[in-house]
């Protein structure tokens, strides 16, 4: 069975600090997909990134970057120079590469990030 | 495109009442799913569908029924609500499966008294 662990439950930083959100996953599949979603205080779920298991290149998008390491089964998310607008709950999620039956997305419990001015 | 829509946005029920949470998408997605979000628990999969006429159970299916008669709609039914079903419910869709980006609806907040 697949599992996602986000060991950090709450993180508080001061604006402009860098912060890393950790995600560790478990799966028996060799082909799988990892995701990060953001849930701001307004409640909607916002897609941030999707990464497949064969692409271990780090990804950078503006102030956001992701470090995928299969050796440690981790997919960590770093926000550089954090801003108040980054305050949200961040979810990491995992899906095995199947369609049809057993096509399920498993979420971690989320990390609440508070960025103080 | 409206994307994924959910109605109602908020609902209060008494224990034992039934209701249907509506979910619709206009992106011609085959895969649709329902999640519940509870404090400290993340999102947990209730039921999902890989196409019209095909549904399956997720992690927490008890107390919920689903059906999928059209590609666009995937309603979630609570036959006899219980306080333990107080939660925020999200519907999501993707083109083919859970390995693709899920597009989420705005959520329905349900309070069962």
For tokens 């064969």, the residue is A54
Q: What is the mean pLDDT of residues A50-74?
A: 92
Joined tokens for residue B25: 């998408």
Report the residue of chain A nearest B91, measured CA to CA. Answer: A45
Burial class of residue A91 (count of CB atoms within 10 Å of its CB; 0-12, 13-18, 19+): buried
In whole angstroms, what is the distance from residue A73 CA to residue A26 CA? 7
Which one of B27, B30, B43, B94 would you mutate to disrupt binding with A, by most A Cβ within 10 Å of its Cβ?
A: B43
pLDDT at position A101, please? 62
| pLDDT tens string B20-57 | 999 999 999 999 999 999 988 899 999 999 999 999 99
pLDDT at position B96, please? 86
The b/e string for A40-71 (b: 16+ C-beta within 10 A; e otherwise) is: eeeeebeebbebebeeeeeeeeeebbbbbeee
In whole angstroms, what is the distance from residue A20 CA to residue A64 CA? 10
Is pLDDT at B12 greater than 90 in this prediction?
A: yes
B45: which chain A residues are within 8 Å (Cβ-Cβ)? Answer: 104-106
B99: which chain A residues are within 8 Å (Cβ-Cβ)? Answer: 32-33, 95-99, 103
Of A35, A91, A103, the CB nearest to B50: A103
The distance of B94 to chain A (nearest Cα, Å) reads 11
Joined tokens for residue B95: 């083109």
Of B31, B43, B44, the CB nearest to A103: B31
- Strand bridging mode B10-13 / B108-112: parallel
In whole angstroms, what is the distance from residue B2 CA to residue B105 CA? 10
Query: H-type helices in chain A, by residue range?
Result: none
Q: What is the mean pLDDT of residues A5-13?
A: 97
A50: which chain B residues are within 8 Å (Cβ-Cβ)? Answer: 100-101
Cβ–Cβ below 8 Å for B99 and A95 = yes
| pLDDT tens string B65-112 | 999 999 999 999 999 999 999 999 999 999 988 888 999 999 999 999
pLDDT at position A25, please? 97
What is the C-alpha radius of gyration for chain A, rounded to an integer number of angstroms? Answer: 14
């Amino acid at each position: 069975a697949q599992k996602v662990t986000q060991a950090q439950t709450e993180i508080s930083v001061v604006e402009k600090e860098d912060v890393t959100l950790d995600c560790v996953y478990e799966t028996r599949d060799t082909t799988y997909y990892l995701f990060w979603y953001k849930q701001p205080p307004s409640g909607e779920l916002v897609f941030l990134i999707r990464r497949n298991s064969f692409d271990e290149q780090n990804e950078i998008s503006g102030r956001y970057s992701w470090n995928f390491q299969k050796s440690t089964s981790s997919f960590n998310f770093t926000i550089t120079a954090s801003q108040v607008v980054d305050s949200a709950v961040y979810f990491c999620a995992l899906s095995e590469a199947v369609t049809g039956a057993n096509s399920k997305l498993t979420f971690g419990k989320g990390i609440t990030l508070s960025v103080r001015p | 495109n409206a994307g994924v829509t959910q109605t109602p946005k908020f609902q209060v029920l008494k224990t034992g009442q039934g209701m249907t949470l509506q979910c619709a998408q206009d992106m011609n997605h085959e895969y649709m799913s329902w999640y519940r979000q509870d404090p400290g628990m993340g999102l947990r999969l209730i039921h999902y569908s890989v196409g019209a006429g095909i549904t399956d159970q997720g992690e927490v299916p008890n107390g919920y029924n689903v059906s999928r008669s059209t590609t666009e709609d995937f309603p979630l039914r609570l036959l006899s609500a219980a306080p333990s079903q107080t939660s925020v419910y999200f519907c999501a869709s993707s083109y083919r499966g859970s390995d693709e980006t899920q597009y989420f609806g705005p959520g329905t907040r349900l309070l069962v008294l």
